[in-house]
Amino acid sequence: MLELVLLLTLGLFVCQLLLLVYLYTTKTWAIKKDNTANRLYHELFPDYLSYLTGDTDIEPILPKNDELKQKVLERILSGFTNIMTDSAGKARIQQSAEAHLATIYRKKLKSSNWSKRMNALYLIEDFMMLSLREDVKEHLHAITIIDEEYRQTLRILASFQEESLLEYMFSRPNMSIGLIKEILRRLPLSFLTDIMVVLKKDEDDVPYAIRQAFIDYCGESGYYEFLPFIEYMLTHQSKETRIKALKSLHQYQYCSNPTIIVPFFTSEHWEERLHAAKLTGMMKLTEFSDYLILLAGDRVWWVRFQACEALKKMTDGEILLAYLSEQHEDMYAKDMAKQTLTMRAGGQV
Amino acid sequence: MIDKEWLSLLTLILAVIAIIYMVTVGLIYLILFLIASSRIKKERFLNQEEYVEELTSNKDTFPVSVLIPAYNEEVGIYTTVRSMLGLNYPQYEIIVIDDGSKDNTSGKVIEEFKMTEIDVALRKYFNTKDVIKAYQSTVHPNIFLLRKENGGKADALNAGINFSRYPYFAAVDGDCILDHDALLKVMKPIIDSNGLVTVTGGTVRIANGSTITRSQVEKIALPKGPIVLMQIIEYFRAFLIGRLGLSRLNILLIISGAFGVFEKKRVVKVGGYNTKTVGEDMELIVRMHRSIKEEKSNQRVEYIQDPVCWTEAPDNAAVLRSQRKRWQRGLAETIWLHKKMLFNPKYKGIGLFSMPYYLIVELLSAVFELVGYVVIMSGLLFSFVSLDIVIVMFIVTVFYGSLLSSLAVLLEEWTYHKYPDTKSLIVLFFWALTESFWYRPLMVWWRFSGLIQSLTKKADWGNMKRKGISTD
């Protein structure tokens, strides 16, 4: 028994000692590597600044060690990616990345370490490394778990304007609306037009999430080419689709014929009444003020809130709200009008 | 003589029970460590900025109402609200709820953020103590202040939910500072899962010793006092092993009251915060799990290891004692309120593992460990049990505390590696080794007292005297 206890004590001691040695050595190495990378970064940065801004055509010489080269170059190029706006500068970033990082990233995509694959995927998109298009496509088919890796791979293909992507999306009914919108944001107008054509021709061929995401994104993008289609969607049989279309119009801050929203003021669905009120305020449609006054006493708090917010946006809004706060027959409407009068607008900090 | 034999036998039985208990608990913790470490190892080298970059410009990132309940927080409230203003998040509002403070909490907020009174058409999801006045900042229109009658932290949070406009809310303590990207990181699983994740909680870290200027963490360093140092290690272990491990199994029952994000719809559905317990944060999560399981929904409660909320830890024994007694009371009350879930297969992992785990490991460990200490002492003093048994118990106790704390230090280094030198790691490691000899016995005694107190005391805020964690 005592031997066992002694053995346990010794085992415990060795475990802790090994753990301490491991922590100490890895931390020391990490600090040393970081310091070297920092020093090189500061040395190379001024030369790269001249190169990427086009002051010189001579690219600075990078360290031979792959790990160090990757670390320093990624830091320099990432910094410039965020601030470089001209196409020549962007092309140089892309060129440098392709020349020094493509082979490294190709290898990283096959790595068993998830973080390393992810970091490579993020930067492939940031640096627009088109030479890796086939590798990324191959990578997409190798992914078995729907996680951030899957989402980022799709984002890259969208950024690369990969043509096979639409067909891929149409064959995946379980994609989320959020992810589809992330893809749509990266696609050119021609791809979006193709989606609309299919939706018009036979919407049953298109997964529900793509329809909803597309309607939503049209307003967000502000492409007026799609406005008639969105207005047409207001007559759709699905309530969710009509609400998405109303939200989309709200983002456009416009609709060609305001009378099309009138039926929604008296809709049985409160979300439709709410969005109709919101759109009226956004477009300052004073001719619909009476509807808003009616909705200020709606049974749903959110509709009352939105109706009063919409009234406030009208030229005579404050007068109307002051009148409502005194004269409206509904107590809730009075309270809401008072709140709207005293509360400043502001959706963002 | 016979009495002595009986006493010796009884002590031996108690010793064996305590050893079995400690070994089992140690093994559970080791298993949780293995589960947690695989996730931490997976994300160890991830570029965190790139990970959340998409969300910063994404119009689908849900807006969030940040609720800050405050009671006598005049020292820290300005710092906390100012740290919220620096959050990297597309759309959010900040609502400070002054729960009838006796100091100048409201005055401080009104003055610093140039607030004016507003009329409110309050929506009532829950009944709360009366809201006396509401204010809005003239400088930052999305900062609000509610002044209400005192009703406790849970009541303040319920009033904040009533007032909030957005579909998700973050509950943040009035003495905390959030990292720049904390809200983005904690919202990411909710957004990516398309609403399948209903609650997320972030890591809470101790700010004592670090340099925080103008509500931003500038330099992370260790404090000098051993009491705070041990709490730092304890937090690593609780968050990086306990919570992450349980979260991966979707059986996590605690999201820290200091920083958590909730889907408002689900919270409203379960009736909001319970005003009759001091453990309102845990009680709410248990009720949410209960509702999820009863609906047979596949929603999840997730802990995210990276988002960091900085808080000030007690730096003296008296305050730490009252904090730990309060936590123990909260835990006891929650388990008592939901005793029907214990060992109930209807609640799957929650009923069969999580609730028993919190009862036996987190709540009753104080009793088992106290028995262990008594056995060791009496064994040594009166030779009731053999020396071998005493040594085994001693080794098991050391193993239980020190090794797991050291492993937590390892996970910290894998997750954040924010301490800038090797010295900090060695200091943490050294103190982790000493845990079983002084800190753990203290905790055991305080938690045991808390357990006793849970039968008598009523709910209160249990605030400590703040020094403030940020300098201007």
Question: Where residue B392 falls among pLDDT bands split at 50, 70, 90?
Answer: confident
Q: What is the C-alpha separation between B387 and B376, in angstroms, rounded?
A: 9
pLDDT number for residue B464: 57
Question: Where residue B452 falls among pLDDT bands split at 50, 70, 90?
Answer: confident
- Over 70: is that where the pLDDT of B467 sits? no
CA distances (Å), origin A304, targets A148, A269, A277, B124, B127: 39, 14, 9, 14, 21
What's the burial of B105, exposed, middle or buried (CB within 10 Å: 0-12/13-18/19+)? Answer: buried
Q: What is the mean pLDDT of chain B?
A: 89
pLDDT number for residue B470: 63
> Under a CB-based contact definition with an 8 Å cutoff, are residues A91 and A79 in contact?
no
SS3 category, B462: coil
Q: What is the C-alpha separation between B144 and B135, in angstroms, rounded?
A: 6
Enumerate residues 6+ apart whose C-beta is below 8 A from B407: A19, B33, B37, B237, B241
B472 to chain A, any CB pair closer than 8 A? The answer is no
Asked if A346 lies within 8 A of B142 by C-beta distance, the reply is: yes
Q: What b-and-e string marks burial along A327-339, b requiring 16 or more CB atoms within 10 Å of the CB?
A: ebebebbbbbbbb
Section B365-373 average pLDDT: 88
> Under a CB-based contact definition with an 8 Å cutoff, are residues A284 and A316 in contact?
no
> Under a CB-based contact definition with an 8 Å cutoff, are residues A311 and A281 in contact?
yes
Q: Residue B417's closest chain A neighbor by CA?
A: A27
- Over 70: is that where the pLDDT of B458 sits? no
Report angle CA B319, B322, B325 to the nearest 5 degrees.
150
DSSP A235-282: T-S-HHHHHHHHHHHHHHT--S-GGGGHHHHT-SSHHHHHHHHHHHHH
Task: Give the phi and the psi of residue B94 in degrees, each rounded to 5.
Answer: -115, 125
Residue B115 CA, chain-centre distance (Å), reads 32
What's the burial of A258, exposed, middle or buried (CB within 10 Å: 0-12/13-18/19+)? Answer: middle
B17 to chain A, any CB pair closer than 8 A? The answer is no
Q: Is residue B212 left, alpha or beta, with left meaning phi > 0 and alpha meaning psi from -120 to 50? A: beta
Residue A301 CA, chain-centre distance (Å), reads 30
CA distances (Å), origin B421, targets A32, A241, B216, B220: 11, 56, 21, 10
Q: What are the contacts of A91-98 at 24+ separation with CB within 8 A?
A: A92/A51, A92/A52, A92/A54, A93/A52, A93/A127, A94/A127, A94/A128, A94/A129, A94/A130, A96/A51, A96/A52, A96/A59, A97/A73, A97/A123, A97/A127, A97/A129, A98/A127, A98/A129, A98/A130, A98/A131
Q: Least CB-CB distance to B142: which of A126, A176, A349?
A: A349
Asked if A24 lies within 8 A of B54 by C-beta distance, the reply is: no
Residues in chain A with CB shorter than 8 Å from the CB of B121 are 301, 304-305, 332, 335-336, 338-339
Q: What is the C-alpha separation between B369 and B21, in angstroms, rounded?
A: 9
The alpha-carbon gap from B4 to the nearest alpha carbon of chain A, in Å, equals 24
pLDDT in tens, B96-146: 999 999 999 999 999 999 999 999 888 889 999 999 999 999 999 999 999
B91 to chain A, any CB pair closer than 8 A? The answer is yes
The residue among B275, B259, B313, B285 whose CA lies nearest residue B67 is B259
- Over 70: is that where the pLDDT of B439 sits? yes
Total-model pTM: 0.91
> Under a CB-based contact definition with an 8 Å cutoff, are residues A199 and A206 in contact?
yes
Task: Give the phi and the psi of residue B34 in degrees, each rounded to 5.
Answer: -65, -40
pLDDT number for residue B418: 75
The residue among A265, A226, A274 whose CA lies nearest residue A247 is A274
Q: How many CB pairs under 8 A join A and B?
A: 133
B407 to chain A, any CB pair closer than 8 A? The answer is yes
Question: Where residue B465 falls among pLDDT bands split at 50, 70, 90?
Answer: low
The alpha-helical segments, DSSP class H, found in B103-164 are: 105-112, 153-163
Q: Least CB-CB distance to A339: which of B118, B403, B420?
A: B118
Question: Where residue B8 falls among pLDDT bands split at 50, 70, 90?
Answer: confident
SS3 category, B327: helix
Q: Least CB-CB distance to B60: which of A12, A178, A347?
A: A178
The alpha-carbon gap from B53 to the nearest alpha carbon of chain A, in Å, equals 10
B194 to chain A, any CB pair closer than 8 A? The answer is yes
Q: What are the contacts of B228-231 at 24+ separation with CB within 8 A?
A: B228/B313, B228/B314, B228/B315, B229/B427, B229/B428, B229/B431, B230/B431, B230/B435, B230/B439, B231/B206, B231/B313, B231/B314, B231/B320
- Over 70: is that where the pLDDT of B457 sits? no
pLDDT number for residue B463: 57
Q: What six digits make up the tokens of B35?
A: 């589960």
Does the CA dihedral A195-A197-A198-A204 come out positive or negative?
positive
Section B275-296 average pLDDT: 93
Question: Which contiguous run of DSSP H or E holds residue B178?
Answer: strand B177-178
Q: What is the C-alpha separation between B355 and A281, in angstroms, rounded?
A: 51
Section B364-386 average pLDDT: 83
Q: Residue A149's closest chain B neighbor by CA?
A: B51
Asked if B44 lies within 8 A of A115 by C-beta distance, the reply is: yes
pLDDT in tens, B286-341: 999 999 999 999 999 999 988 889 998 999 999 999 999 989 999 999 999 999 99
Q: What is the C-alpha separation between B293 and B286, in angstroms, rounded?
A: 11
Asked if A336 lies within 8 A of B121 by C-beta distance, the reply is: yes
Residues in chain A with CB shorter than 8 Å from the CB of B388 are 1-2, 5
DSSP A221-232: HT-GGGHHHHHH
Q: Least CB-CB distance to A16: which of B42, B51, B402?
A: B402
pLDDT number for residue A202: 85
What's the burial of B456, exposed, middle or buried (CB within 10 Å: 0-12/13-18/19+)? Answer: exposed
Q: What one-character DSSP code corresponds to residue A330?
A: -
ipTM: 0.89
Q: Least CB-CB distance to A19: which of B121, B191, B406?
A: B406
Q: Work out the number of other CB atoms within 10 angstroms of the CB of residue B250.
A: 18
pLDDT number for residue B468: 63
What's the burial of A139, exposed, middle or buried (CB within 10 Å: 0-12/13-18/19+)? Answer: buried
B93 to chain A, any CB pair closer than 8 A? The answer is yes
Residues in chain B with CB shorter than 8 Å from the CB of A114 are 42-43, 46
Asked if B46 lies within 8 A of A12 by C-beta distance, the reply is: no
> Under a CB-based contact definition with an 8 Å cutoff, are residues B385 and B15 in contact?
yes
User: Tens digit of pLDDT per residue, chain A (349 long)?
Assistant: 667 777 877 888 888 889 999 999 999 999 999 999 999 999 999 998 898 888 888 888 888 888 999 999 999 999 988 888 888 889 999 999 999 999 999 999 999 999 999 999 999 999 999 999 999 999 999 999 989 999 999 999 999 999 999 999 999 998 999 999 999 999 999 999 999 999 999 888 899 999 999 999 999 999 999 999 999 999 999 999 999 999 999 999 999 999 999 999 999 999 999 999 999 999 999 999 999 999 999 999 999 999 999 999 999 999 999 999 998 888 889 999 999 999 887 644 3
pLDDT number for residue A113: 95
- Determine the length of chain B: 472
Residue A339 CA, chain-centre distance (Å), reads 33
pLDDT number for residue A349: 34
> Under a CB-based contact definition with an 8 Å cutoff, are residues A132 and A99 in contact?
no
Q: What b-and-e string marks burial along B364-402, b requiring 16 or more CB atoms within 10 Å of the CB?
A: bbbbbbbbbbebbebbeeeebbeeebbbbbbbbbbbbbb
Residues in chain B with CB shorter than 8 Å from the CB of A330 are none
pLDDT number for residue B413: 87
The alpha-carbon gap from B43 to the nearest alpha carbon of chain A, in Å, equals 5
Q: What is the C-alpha separation between B108 and B73, in angstroms, rounded?
A: 10
> Under a CB-based contact definition with an 8 Å cutoff, are residues B128 and B162 in contact?
yes
B138 to chain A, any CB pair closer than 8 A? The answer is yes
pLDDT number for residue B469: 62
Question: Where residue B461 falls among pLDDT bands split at 50, 70, 90?
Answer: low
Share of chain B above pLDDT 90, in %: 57
Q: Residue B40's closest chain A neighbor by CA?
A: A115
